[in-house]
Chains A and B, each alone.
Chain A
Amino acid sequence: MGIINYAPKILDPIPGGKYVVNAIDYVVNWARANSIWPLTYGTSCCAIEMMSSSMARYDIARFGSEVFRSSPRQADLFILAGTITRRMAPAIQMLWEQIPGPKYVIAMGACTISGGPFIYDNYSVVRGAQNLIPVDVFVPGCPPRPEALFHGLLTLREKILKETCRHPWHEGKPKDVSTMDRYREAAKTWAALEEMKDEAMAEARAKFKEEHPDYKSAYKPVRVKKEDFPEVPRVPFKRFGLTQSELFAKLREKFPKVTVHTHSEDPIEDVVAAIPADRPLEVMVEPEDYLSIVEFVKSSPEFNMDYLIDVTAIDYDDHFDMVTMLRSLEHGHKLFLCVQMKKDFSIPEEKRATSLLASVKSISHLYPGAEVKEREVYDMFGINFEGHPDQRRIFLDKDFVGYPLRKDFTHPQMIRRPV
């Protein structure tokens, strides 16, 4: 890049010119390899190790990379610290395109090499940064230690020192995001290679047995004796606020339809009394009662459930269980409301995966914090919240097909975990 690439053309015809070209190469490479400025970019755990490496103990300044630039236009090096998701992928390509050349990329951590711990059953993680942009150095680890990052940096330095005017840095091209997943092909090739290796090993073993019929291994397995540990009982739980039976009785007085989930035929009061103290009371609520119960437990001074812990849902074959976790900051008791919603099977079967299958009233006007939580449930399960002020997808793109936390969810890029 730049004028020095024309140096051989101009200087080579002159006698002794190639020595001048070599000298220019030496000076330029010395400057480039000793001041690789990285971009301040990090998505997850590796970013913390990248920060650690630039601090006093490890001191990345020894290698001339201490100037972390916040703008890609001032950076030379793109350290991909952390998992790359499909939603982040276009942003990464854009950042890479904005870095002026010559630019280098270090893929830090297992996630950017292959997807790391997020390979199986995953619909959102890009399996390897090389599917997006050209990568120069891979640093394995989860997360890699700062020393490992430095090793990557020194490897990159060696690579830079090999560049000359005659073989200058060459700009690669960002990959097309739509053809990203080459994992399956690689896995097939790998499996074939493994099979070949197994066959060769079996042959060698048979041959060895033929040649040495009375060979006996000198190896004896040594088993370390396991330490003997006692069984320890659990520490009893210290209860605050109302007991589960009191909570249930008070709730039932007002709403006679509430129950708890049970398989036994004992009276419901006994079932509630038998719940261990460390487990919060989880009552089953009819969908039409849900909003009025939440209003009641929030306003009633006996309950005073002013704190919303979380809203989440569970998908079963024919129904959703939506669990609203409430807590009283004043008294200390907790109440979980489980709304059982039958799935709407009137929708034709081929459309079920992409349509909202159940509907419930929103509680976001009572608890402002419920707004984002309900958006999450809508995004992950496809449950409609009536009266929600801003029902959009929260974690996934708006054109994402399907609702991932349903049990029958499929995604073309998802690989099932081998059992």
Chain B
Amino acid sequence: MPTLPPGFRLQRETNTEEFFINMGPQHPSTHGALRLALRMDGETIVELVPHFGYIHRGMEKQAESMSYLQYIALSDRQDYLTAIQNNLGVVIALEKGMNVGVPEKGEYIRVMLQELGRIASHLVFFGCFGGDLGGQTCLLFGFKEREMIHDILEEVTGSRLTTNFFRPGGSRYDVPETFIPRVKAFLDHLEDSMRDYERFLSKNIIVLERSIGIGVLSKEDAIAYGCSGPVLRASGVNFDVRRVNPYSIYDQFDFDIPVFHNGDCYDRYKIRIAEIHESMKILRQCIDKFPKEGPWRSKEKPVRLPEGRYYSEIETAKGLYATYVVAATTGEKPYRIHTRGPSFPHIAALNKMAQGHKISDLVTIMATLDPVIPEIDR
């Protein structure tokens, strides 16, 4: 048996000649700086080894010399598609330490921005999924509605992408008066265009042929690898932090957790489309119940955490985003902050999904995992 490159461990006897292909770190369909080493038999993938670290920026080392508030700005740059959700994940952990609550209006602002962020992330998925399958038009479609969300975010937070918005006890600013009418107008627009988009992609014969039965992740494997979010729910596990450990005021809304059972690429696509509809449901309820009066943040306190370890978890568009804050002494600086991003286990499970498929199917599988590499490498 010849010696294999590092990472490969499948031993098998073959009559064909195997060869190795390097995919990345600069490759359009690895969604960032990720390198995949592929062991091929003809055009079939025998084994796959991901190599991380091409965008490892040492955020956790930096966090040790930062104050808690400064780290919120760094969390934007982890998963930049759901920056507004990462902010909340960090802030909830800090709130647990400081023991401050959020007034009702502040909670509504949080939930609404969370769901807008979720829709924005899923629209990018929609675009990239279509784009990776060869339909560049989908990219244009997905980003069309996304720009409207960016307009709303820019009006509220002052930034398009890296929002840095939430603070312990509420948020940085109150929402402007135009916020609710704009969200309402956006939802009406999105409902129409989602109907078009689904007709465009969901029954498309190319999409069906290239995604049904491709990259199947069984329920057991999905749990064992620690997958979360749409990837786990597409494999038939009903797990959503908004339902099992409700944070903010998610327990006051009526919405469903879509669960699919095949665990293939098509289910992972369908589940995200279904989640956009659920998010729209939550947003509509928010608009109806949004308190016009009242404070939007609680009394400002210095961000000092007492000694202890604080843990928070939220459901971002990608899955379970957990923050673990260690405060060794009471003060303004953390001893250590660790972030658990949802994409890391997904790429770890990629080998399981891609084995036995053709190399072009790997592009589909990568697209449906919707990974963001800076959040893996941090």
Binding site for B on A (CB under 8 A): 40-45, 47-49, 51-52, 55-57, 70, 82-83, 85, 87-88, 91, 95, 117-118, 120-125, 142-143, 145, 229-235, 238, 240, 276, 278-280, 282, 306-310, 312, 314-315, 323, 325, 329, 332, 336, 367-369, 371-373, 380, 389-390, 392-397, 404-405, 407, 409, 416-417
Is B295's beta carbon under 8 Å from chain A?
yes
For the complex with contacts A235-B249, A368-B348, 7 further pairs of A-B residues with Cβ separation under 8 Å are A40-B28, A83-B374, A91-B25, A231-B298, A306-B223, A312-B338, A390-B6
Which chain B residue has the least Cβ–Cβ distance from A231?
A: B299
What residues of chain B lie closer than 8 Å to A117, measured between beta carbons? 73-74, 77
Is B180's beta carbon under 8 Å from chain A?
no
Among candidates B56, B81, B245, B320, residue contacting A240 with C-beta atoms closer than 8 Å: B245
Q: Do A83 and B55 touch across chains, with their CB atoms under 8 A apart?
A: yes
- Min CB gap B34→A, angstroms: 10
Give me 27 A-to-B residue pairs in the complex whose CB atoms sit less than 8 angstroms apart, sorted by A's number.
A43-B55, A43-B373, A44-B373, A45-B374, A85-B53, A85-B54, A85-B55, A91-B26, A118-B58, A121-B58, A123-B61, A124-B56, A143-B161, A229-B295, A230-B298, A234-B99, A234-B101, A238-B246, A240-B245, A306-B224, A372-B345, A390-B7, A392-B7, A393-B53, A394-B52, A404-B58, A409-B61
Q: Do B226 and A88 touch across chains, with their CB atoms under 8 A apart?
A: no
- Min CB gap A242→B, angstroms: 14
Q: Do B52 and A395 touch across chains, with their CB atoms under 8 A apart?
A: yes
Is B281's beta carbon under 8 Å from chain A?
no
Is B147's beta carbon under 8 Å from chain A?
yes
* A142-B162 contact in complex given A234-B95, A329-B223, A392-B7, C-beta closer than 8 Å: yes
What residues of chain B lie closer than 8 Å to A314, measured between beta carbons? 326, 335-336
Among candidates A87, A123, A332, residue contacting B53 with C-beta atoms closer than 8 Å: A87
* A43-B244 contact in complex given A56-B140, A122-B57, A122-B61, C-beta closer than 8 Å: no
Which chain B residue has the least Cβ–Cβ distance from A70?
A: B28
Q: State which residues 190-239 of B face A: CB under 8 Å.
A: 221, 223-227, 237, 239
Q: Do A372 and B344 touch across chains, with their CB atoms under 8 A apart?
A: yes
Is B304's beta carbon under 8 Å from chain A?
no
Is B242's beta carbon under 8 Å from chain A?
no
* A310-B324 contact in complex given A55-B144, A57-B143, C-beta closer than 8 Å: yes
Q: Do B80 and A44 touch across chains, with their CB atoms under 8 A apart?
A: yes
Q: Do B160 and A145 touch across chains, with their CB atoms under 8 A apart?
A: yes
* A307-B223 contact in complex given A52-B147, A372-B344, C-beta closer than 8 Å: yes
Chain A CB within 10 A, most for which of B7, B61, B66, B300 = B61
Q: Do B309 and A282 touch across chains, with their CB atoms under 8 A apart?
A: yes
Q: Do A44 and B103 touch across chains, with their CB atoms under 8 A apart?
A: no
Q: Do A367 and B143 touch across chains, with their CB atoms under 8 A apart?
A: no
* A307-B25 contact in complex given A122-B62, A143-B162, A323-B324, C-beta closer than 8 Å: no
Is B139's beta carbon under 8 Å from chain A?
yes
* A279-B310 contact in complex given A52-B147, A55-B144, C-beta closer than 8 Å: yes
9 closest cross-chain pairs (CB), A and B: A369-B226, A395-B53, A232-B101, A55-B143, A232-B298, A395-B56, A45-B80, A369-B225, A310-B340
What residues of chain B lie closer than 8 Å to A42, measured between beta carbons? 32
Q: Do A279 and B56 touch across chains, with their CB atoms under 8 A apart?
A: no
- Min CB gap B89→A, angstroms: 13
* Interface residue range, chain B: 35 or more
Is B377's beta carbon under 8 Å from chain A?
yes
Q: Do A229 and B53 touch across chains, with their CB atoms under 8 A apart?
A: no
How far apart sit A42 and B33, CA to CA, in the bound complex (Å)? 7
- Min CB gap A368→B, angstroms: 5
How far apart sit A223 and B320, CA to CA, in the bound complex (Å)? 43
Q: State which residues 57-112 of B face A: CB under 8 Å.
A: 57-62, 64-66, 73-74, 76-77, 80-81, 95-96, 99-103
Q: Do A124 and B57 touch across chains, with their CB atoms under 8 A apart?
A: yes
* A395-B377 contact in complex given A87-B56, A120-B62, C-beta closer than 8 Å: yes
Q: Do A234 and B100 touch across chains, with their CB atoms under 8 A apart?
A: yes
What residues of chain A lie closer than 8 Å to B32, measured between beta carbons? 42-44, 47
Is B119's beta carbon under 8 Å from chain A?
no
Which chain B residue has the least Cβ–Cβ distance from A45?
A: B80
CB-defined interface of B16-33 with A at 8 Å, one 1/0 digit per residue?
A: 000000000111100011
Q: Do A232 and B28 touch across chains, with their CB atoms under 8 A apart?
A: no
Is B318's beta carbon under 8 Å from chain A?
no
How far apart sit A279 and B313, CA to CA, in the bound complex (Å)? 11
How far apart sit A336 and B32, CA to CA, in the bound complex (Å)? 33
- Min CB gap B340→A, angstroms: 4
Is B9's beta carbon under 8 Å from chain A?
yes
How far apart sit A329 and B54, CA to CA, in the bound complex (Å)? 33
Q: Do B224 and A405 touch across chains, with their CB atoms under 8 A apart?
A: no
* A122-B58 contact in complex given A56-B143, A230-B299, C-beta closer than 8 Å: yes
Is B311's beta carbon under 8 Å from chain A?
yes
Which chain B residue has the least Cβ–Cβ distance from A380?
A: B60
* A372-B298 contact in complex given A48-B81, A307-B223, A310-B322, C-beta closer than 8 Å: no
* A235-B101 contact in complex given A57-B143, A314-B336, C-beta closer than 8 Å: yes
Among candidates A230, A233, A336, A417, residue contacting B295 with C-beta atoms closer than 8 Å: A230
Is B43's beta carbon under 8 Å from chain A?
no
Which chain B residue has the least Cβ–Cβ distance from A366?
A: B224
How far apart sit A143 and B227, CA to CA, in the bound complex (Å)? 30
How far apart sit A405 and B249, CA to CA, in the bound complex (Å)? 36
CB-defined interface of B334-378 with A at 8 Å, one 1/0 digit per residue?
A: 011010100011001100000000000000000000000110010
CB-defined interface of B286-309 with A at 8 Å, one 1/0 digit per residue?
A: 000000000101111000000011
Is B117's beta carbon under 8 Å from chain A?
no
* A279-B311 contact in complex given A48-B81, A142-B162, C-beta closer than 8 Å: yes
What residues of chain A lie closer than 8 Å to B336, measured between beta carbons? 314-315, 405
* A52-B143 contact in complex given A310-B322, A310-B340, A325-B322, C-beta closer than 8 Å: yes
What residues of chain A lie closer than 8 Å to B80, measured between beta carbons? 44-45, 48, 143
- Min CB gap A15→B, angstroms: 51
Which chain A residue has the least Cβ–Cβ distance from B128?
A: A51
What residues of chain B lie closer than 8 Å to A234, measured between beta carbons? 95, 99-101
Chain A CB within 10 A, most for which of B96, B245, B246, B313 = B245
What residues of chain B lie closer than 8 Å to A235, measured between beta carbons? 101, 249
* A123-B58 contact in complex given A306-B223, A371-B348, C-beta closer than 8 Å: yes
- Min CB gap B345→A, angstroms: 5
